[in-house]
C-alpha cells in the first residue's frame, strides 16, 4: 500500500481497502506534516477520515491554526480551513542543486527522477544532477538521457561520499540538496529546504522528514518498528555554543537523531570552508555508512546551526526482503562506530566524550535490547539485534581498514 496524504486545506480522499498490513495516512495542513493516522483496514470515507484525523492529530492541528490566527482557531469544522497559509514563505531566492548519487540501480532510478521533474521551484533557480558512481555500463546514463532538465556526471571511483563530493564540486547552486535513488521527493521539498535556510541565517545544514513510500512486507514493517528514518513532525534547530566551550559530542554526538543522507542539504560555502565528505566513510567502502552522520557532527562542531524541517518531506522505499534488512542492520552498526572512530581521531578534544558515547550506546542500544529480547522475544527479531551488535564491534576496525583501502587504491 502506498502512502496517502490527507491535506486538511483541500478535499480529503477516500481510503481504500487495505488487503494486508496497515494503511498509513499522513495528515498535512498548509504543507506542514502533522502526524500519521491508521484508518480501519476496510477503509473509510472522506468524512470518517476527517473525524479520525481531528481526533488523533488535534494538538498539532490546533497549534498550526493558532499560529495562523489565534482568534479564529477551532477544530469544529475542518472544511472551513482556508486554503492559503498566512505564514507561507516569500518567493524563493536561493539557487539549489539537487544531487542524486546512484550506483548500478538504473532499474529504479526513473521513479526518483520523475519526482524531481515535478518539484515546485522556479526552473531558473533549480539545478538537477545525477552522479553515476563507478558505473559498470551505460544504463544509468541512458535513463538520465530521457530527462532533458537533469545533468549526468560520472564518478568512476567507488564510494558514496566520493559521489557526494563530486556533486558538490559540480553544483551550480548555493545550496546542495542530496537524496537517494530509492526516494521520491515531495513537490515542495526544495522550497521547504530553501525557506529553512532563509529563516535560519546561521544554518549550514537542513534535514527533513523521511516517510515510508510503502509498507507491504514484514521487512518494511520491522524497519519502521525499529525506528525507520523518520525523526518526527516538529521543527527543531540545533547549535553548539563553541565559544562557550560546549562539547559537541556530549550534546549531539548521536547525530542519527537529525536525519539521514536520503534527505539533507548544505550551503555550498560550508564545504569550501570546512572540507568535503570523508571518502573513507559510507556505502562502497569497508565502513558501509557514517558519511552523513560525520558531516552532521562537523556542522555542529563548527558552531553552525543544523535545522530539522519536517516540511521538507521525502518518501523512501524500504528494503522489501528480510535478508536485505538484516544486512542493513549490520551496516548500521558498522557505519555508526566507524563514524565514532573517525570523529575521535579528527577531534582530540572530543575524544573522551566520543568514547563515553560509544560505550553507552553499545550497552543501551545493543546489549540491553538483546537481553530484553529473551524476556519479550516478539518485540524485535533477535537475529536483527545480533546483526547490529556484531556490526558495531566490526565498525571499531573498519575506518582504519577503509583508510588503508584508499591509500592502496591511490598507489595503484
How remote is the C-alpha of 219 from its chain's centroid?
19
Average pLDDT on 73-96 reads 77
Model-level pTM? Answer: 0.95
pLDDT band at 17 (very low <50, low <70, confident <90, very high): confident
Res. 246: pLDDT tops 70: yes
Give the pLDDT score at 73: 62
Give the pLDDT score at 101: 97
Residues 166 and 192 grouped into a single domain: yes
| Range of lowest pLDDT (98-112, 213-227, 291-305, 318-332) | 213-227
pLDDT band at 3 (very low <50, low <70, confident <90, very high): confident
| 214 is a domain residue | yes
Residues 235 and 163 grouped into a single domain: yes
Average pLDDT on 235-256 reads 96
Residues 131 and 239 grouped into a single domain: yes
Query: Which residues, other chains included, contact 280 with Cβ-Cβ below 8 Å and sequence gap of 6+?
Result: 161, 287, 342, 399, 402, 403, 405, 406
Residues 13 and 147 grouped into a single domain: no
pLDDT band at 232 (very low <50, low <70, confident <90, very high): very high
| 71 is a domain residue | yes
Mean pLDDT (the chain, rounded)? 93
Residues 229 and 263 grouped into a single domain: yes
Average pLDDT on 324-333 reads 97
**Cell digits of residue 178:** 542530496
Residue-wise pLDDT for 366-388, tens only, equals 999 999 999 988 778 999 999 99
- The closest of 66, 56, 137, 68 to 103, measured between CA atoms, is 137
| 113 is a domain residue | yes
Report residue 62: phi and psi, to 5°: -65, -40
Of how many residues is the chain composed?
412
Residues 139 and 110 grouped into a single domain: yes
**Cell digits of residue 90:** 516569500
| Range of lowest pLDDT (19-23, 63-67, 360-364, 365-369) | 19-23
Query: Which residues, other chains included, contact 384 with Cβ-Cβ below 8 Å and sequence gap of 6+?
Result: 222, 226, 325, 326, 329
Res. 297: pLDDT tops 80: yes
Residues 339 and 204 grouped into a single domain: no
**Cell digits of residue 150:** 537533469
| 85 is a domain residue | no
Range of 19's domain?
A: 4-80
Residue-wise pLDDT for 163-220, tens only, equals 999 999 999 999 999 999 999 999 999 999 999 999 999 999 999 999 999 888 899 9
**Cell digits of residue 272:** 569550501
Query: Which residues, other chains included, contact 203 with Cβ-Cβ below 8 Å and sequence gap of 6+?
Result: 196, 197, 237, 267, 304, 305, 306, 307
Label each residue of the chain as H, E or C. Answer: CECEEEECCCCCCCECCCCCCCCCEEEEECCEEEEEECCCCCCECHHHHHHHHHHHCHHHHHHHHHHHCCCCCCCCCHHHCCCCCCCCCCCCCCCEEEEEEECCCHHHHHHHHHHHHCCCCCHHHEEEEEEEECCCCCHHHHHHCCCCCEEEEEECCCCHHHHHHHHHHHCCCCEEEEEECCEEECCCHHHHHHHHHHHCCCEEEEEEEEEECECCCHHHHHHHHHCCCCCCCCCEEECCCCCCCCCHHHHHCCHHHHCCCCCEEEEHHHHHHHCCCCCCCCCCCCCCCCHHHHHHHHHHHCCCEEEEEEEEEEEECCCCCHHHHHHHHHHHHHHHHHHHHHHHHHCHHHHHHHHHHHHHHHHHHHHHHHHHHHHCCCCCCHHHHHHHHHHHHHHHHHHHHHHHHHHHHHHC
Res. 23: pLDDT tops 90: no
Give the pLDDT score at 20: 65
Residues 310 and 208 grouped into a single domain: yes
Boundary (domain end) residue, out of 323, 350, 376: 323
pLDDT band at 79 (very low <50, low <70, confident <90, very high): low
Query: Which residues, other chains included, contact 395 with Cβ-Cβ below 8 Å and sequence gap of 6+?
Result: 287, 333, 334, 335, 336, 337, 338, 340, 341
Residues 308 and 169 grouped into a single domain: yes
Domain count, the chain: 3
Are the C-beta atoms of 297 and 325 separated by less than 8 Å? no
CA distance 132 to 155: 6
Residues 181 and 245 grouped into a single domain: yes
Boundary (domain end) residue, out of 323, 354, 370: 323
Give the pLDDT score at 396: 97
Residues 198 and 346 grouped into a single domain: no
Res. 280: pLDDT tops 70: yes
* Between 47 and 68, residue with greater pLDDT: 47
Give the pLDDT score at 67: 82
Boundary (domain end) residue, out of 14, 49, 80: 80
CA distance 31 to 7: 8
Residue-wise pLDDT for 26-45, tens only, equals 999 999 999 999 888 888 99
- CATH classification of the domain holding 119: 3.90.550.10
Residues 144 and 75 grouped into a single domain: no
Give the pLDDT score at 71: 63
Proportion of the chain above pLDDT 90, given as a percent:
77
Amino acid at each position: 500500500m502506498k502512502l496517502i496524504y490527507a491535506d486538511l486545506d483541500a478535499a480529503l480522499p477516500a481510503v481504500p481497502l487495505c488487503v494486508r498490513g496497515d494503511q498509513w495516512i499522513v495528515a498535512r495542513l498548509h504543507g506542514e506534516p502533522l502526524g500519521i493516522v491508521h484508518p480501519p483496514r476496510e477503509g473509510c470515507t472522506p468524512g470518517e477520515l476527517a473525524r479520525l484525523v481531528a481526533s488523533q492529530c488535534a494538538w498539532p492541528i490546533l497549534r498550526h491554526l493558532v499560529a495562523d490566527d489565534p482568534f479564529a482557531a477551532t477544530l469544529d469544522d475542518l472544511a472551513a480551513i482556508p486554503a492559503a497559509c498566512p505564514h507561507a514563505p516569500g518567493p524563493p531566492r536561493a539557487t539549489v542543486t539537487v544531487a542524486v548519487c546512484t550506483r548500478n540501480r538504473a532499474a529504479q532510478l526513473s521513479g526518483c527522477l520523475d519526482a524531481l521533474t515535478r518539484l515546485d521551484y522556479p526552473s531558473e533557480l533549480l539545478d538537477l544532477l545525477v552522479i553515476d558512481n563507478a558505473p559498470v555500463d551505460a544504463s544509468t546514463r541512458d535513463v538520465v538521457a530521457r530527462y532533458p532538465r537533469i545533468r549526468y556526471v560520472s564518478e568512476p571511483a567507488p564510494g558514496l561520499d566520493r559521489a557526494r563530493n563530486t556533486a558538490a564540486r559540480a553544483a551550480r547552486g548555493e545550496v546542495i540538496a542530496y537524496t537517494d535513488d530509492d526516494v521520491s521527493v515531495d513537490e515542495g521539498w526544495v522550497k521547504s529546504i530553501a525557506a529553512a535556510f532563509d529563516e535560519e541565517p546561521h544554518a549550514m545544514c537542513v534535514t527533513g522528514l523521511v516517510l515510508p513510500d510503502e509498507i507491504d512486507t514484514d521487512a518494511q514493517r520491522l524497519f519502521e518498528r525499529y525506528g525507520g528514518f523518520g525523526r518526527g513532525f516538529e521543527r527543531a534547530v540545533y547549535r553548539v555554543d563553541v565559544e562557550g566551550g560546549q562539547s559537541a559530542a556530549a550534546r549531539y554526538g548521536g547525530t542519527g537523531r537529525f536525519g539521514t543522507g536520503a534527505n539533507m542539504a548544505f550551503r555550498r560555502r560550508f564545504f569550501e570552508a570546512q572540507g568535503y565528505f570523508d571518502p573513507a566513510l559510507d556505502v562502497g567502502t569497508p565502513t558501509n555508512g557514517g558519511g552523513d552522520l560525520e558531516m552532521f557532527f562537523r556542522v555542529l562542531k563548527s558552531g553552525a546551526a543544523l535545522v530539522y524541517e519536517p516540511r521538507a518531506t521525502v518518501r523512501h522505499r524500504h528494503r522489501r526482503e528480510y535478508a536485505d534488512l538484516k544486512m542493513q542492520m549490520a551496516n548500521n552498526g558498522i557505519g555508526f562506530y566507524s563514524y565514532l572512530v573517525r570523529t575521535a581521531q579528527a577531534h582530540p578534544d572530543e575524544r573522551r566524550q566520543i568514547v563515553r558515547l560509544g560505550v553507552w550506546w553499545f550497552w543501551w542500544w545493543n546489549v540491553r535490547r538483546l537481553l530484553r529480547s529473551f524476556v519479550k522475544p516478539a518485540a524485535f527479531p533477535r537475529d536483527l539485534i545480533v546483526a547490529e551488535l556484531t556490526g558495531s564491534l566490526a565498525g571499531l576496525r573498519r575506518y582504519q581498514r577503509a583508510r588503508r583501502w584508499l591509500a592502496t587504491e591511490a598507489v595503484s
